[in-house]
Structure 1
């Protein structure tokens, strides 16, 4: 549709312009969502598309450029002719999860003993059922 990929800053500016302009939804046409753009235009006499434009403007602003490209420029790279050198498809950054730590048996034993002591305090009436459950969950979260 476009000769160039969509720019996140331009999309943000168009979305924020929809807040104060009498018509809203121009940013939807820009990012390749013409159906939503028409809906915004039809509802421009209400505050709904103006508020939505503000929310989307903030959303475009806080997105990483890679995430914006993934959401709104994926079709641009696919529509290029095969002989055109297209940039690689953007990929979202995936968080790297550390490998699970091996269980320390002595640590689990200490937590088990602490839960037993908490249960005894609860049975003796020194702590409430609610306090027991909170502390028990805190201790069990240390295992997981």
Structure 2
């Protein structure tokens, strides 16, 4: 059947758009090991130094931010990323940063 997936909890078939399994109640929404609010604050306060990039597991980008923090460009980019993180839903954040 199209649009059917298996439950993460009990293994029964459920519709792919279900947030929870109707059989066992297990959540089907992906959860992130990182906190979106912490990432937002890090992007705002430590963004020029790449603090949020290190937190989100993007170490290479974090190093670039550290190398060029003196140019103000990482500050501007981090502010834009802060706004993007504010507008992002929790589900989208969990999918993008597992």
TM-score surpassing 0.5? yes
User: Is the helix fraction higher in 1 or 2?
Assistant: 1
Answer with 1 or 2: which has the greater Rg.
1
C-alpha contact (below 8 Å) 1:18/1:26 kept by paired residues: yes
Gaps of 5+ in 1: 74-144
Q: 2:81 aligns with which of 43, 49, 56?
A: 56
Q: CA RMSD in A?
A: 1.4
Q: Work out the CA distance in 1 between the residues paired with 2:80 and 2:63.
A: 18
The alignment covers a number of residue pairs equal to 67
Unmatched segments (≥5 aa) in structure 2? 1-31
Where is the strand percentage greater, Structure 1 or Structure 2? Answer: 2
* TM-score, normalisation: structure 2: 0.65
TM-score by length of structure 1 reads 0.45
1:24-56 Cα distance to aligned partner (Å, 9 max, x none): 201000001000000000000011100011000
Deviant stretches of 4+, over 2 Å: none
